[in-house]
């Protein structure tokens, strides 16, 4: 039975990623997920706001795990982040510019309109930022500096996804990837310079 719930959440994530929550209706979620209509009310008795909020949490968890797994594969944090952002560029291209940034639209839409969804978006972005910050601190970057860089990394990726979808090319994200590499490298050398 857990599968039906996850199936509903995954479908909702895809719809949110593509078109945001204003444009996403319960009927569309039912139709696209293939779940029996009754199961929506069984798993999410509080309706649309609950489904969206849980989907955002689900997306945050899934993306944070993807970030951790990818970053773990490369020792150098600047190279690891650059290569991760390049995979997003590829993902956005492969989706025909329909996907990328499961939180982007819903976060903007709900910022001041739904406290519950806004709270989920905050928690999801915090998971993403923490995944980046942990990699940076594990590589020896001082924790305040790492936290600050993690805000920038998350912001630049979110904006890079918007530009890549808008221009129908992964190149804006590749520019972001190269700039983040430079930024993290310079931060590292500033740190080394400071401690030597």
Query: Which tokens go with 49?
Result: 């706001």
Of 4-12, 46-54, 66-74, 119-127, which segment contacts a second copy by CB under 8 A? 119-127
Interaction of residue 137 with a second copy, rule CB under 8 A = no
With contact defined as beta carbons under 8 Å apart, do 17 and 10 qualify?
no
Q: Whose structure tokens read 């979110």?
A: 158
Rounded to a whole number of angstroms, the minimum distance from the CB of residue 138 to a second copy is 20
Of 3-11, 36-44, 69-77, 158-166, which segment contacts a second copy by CB under 8 A? 158-166
Compute how many other C-beta atoms are within 10 angstroms of the C-beta atom of residue 59. Answer: 26
Interaction of residue 193 with a second copy, rule CB under 8 A = no
Interaction of residue 152 with a second copy, rule CB under 8 A = yes
- Indicate the Cα dihedral angle 30, 32, 34, 37, nearest 10°: 10
Burial of 47 (0-12, 13-18, 19+ CB in 10 A): exposed
Q: Pick from 3, 38, 73, 112: which binds a second copy (CB under 8 A)?
A: 112
Q: Pick from 9, 15, 51, 121: which binds a second copy (CB under 8 A)?
A: 121
> Helices (DSSP H) in 73-142: which residue ranges?
77-94, 104-110, 115-138
Q: What is the DSSP letter of 112?
A: T
Interaction of residue 165 with a second copy, rule CB under 8 A = yes
> Which is nearer to a second copy, 35 or 184 (by Cβ)?
184
- Residue burial 104-138, b: 16+ Cβ < 10 Å; e: rest: bbbbebbeeebeebbebbeebbebbbebbbbbbbe
Contact flags string 2-21 toward a second copy, x per CB under 8 A: ----------------xxx-
> Which is nearer to a second copy, 22 or 37 (by Cβ)?
22
> Which is nearer to a second copy, 72 or 182 (by Cβ)?
182
Q: Of 113, 140, 143, 109, which Cα lies nearest the Cα of 129?
A: 143
Report the interface residues with a second copy, using CB under 8 A: 18-20, 22-23, 96-98, 101, 104-105, 107-109, 111-113, 118, 121-122, 125, 148-149, 151-152, 154-160, 162-163, 165-168, 171-172, 175-176, 178-179, 182-183, 186-187
């Amino acid at each position: 039975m857990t599968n039906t719930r996850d199936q509903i959440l995954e479908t909702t994530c895809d719809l949110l990623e593509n078109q945001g929550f204003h444009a996403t209706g319960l009927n569309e979620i039912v139709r696209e997920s293939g779940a029996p209509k009754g199961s929506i009310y069984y798993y999410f008795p509080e309706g649309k706001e609950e489904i969206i909020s849980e989907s955002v949490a689900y997306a945050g968890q899934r993306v944070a795990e993807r970030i951790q797994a990818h970053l773990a594969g490369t020792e150098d944090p600047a190279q690891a982040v650059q290569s991760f952002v390049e995979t997003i560029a590829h993902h956005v291209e492969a989706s025909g510019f329909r996907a990328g940034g499961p939180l982007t639209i819903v976060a903007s839409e709900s910022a001041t309109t739904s406290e519950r969804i806004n709270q989920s978006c905050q928690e999801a972005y915090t998971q993403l930022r923490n995944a980046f910050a942990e990699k940076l601190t594990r590589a020896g970057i001082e924790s305040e500096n790492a936290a600050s860089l993690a805000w920038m990394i998350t912001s630049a990726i979110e904006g890079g996804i918007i530009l890549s979808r808008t221009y129908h090319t992964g190149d804006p994200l590749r520019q972001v990837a190269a700039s983040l590499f430079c930024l993290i490298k310079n931060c590292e050398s500033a740190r080394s310079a400071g401690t030597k």
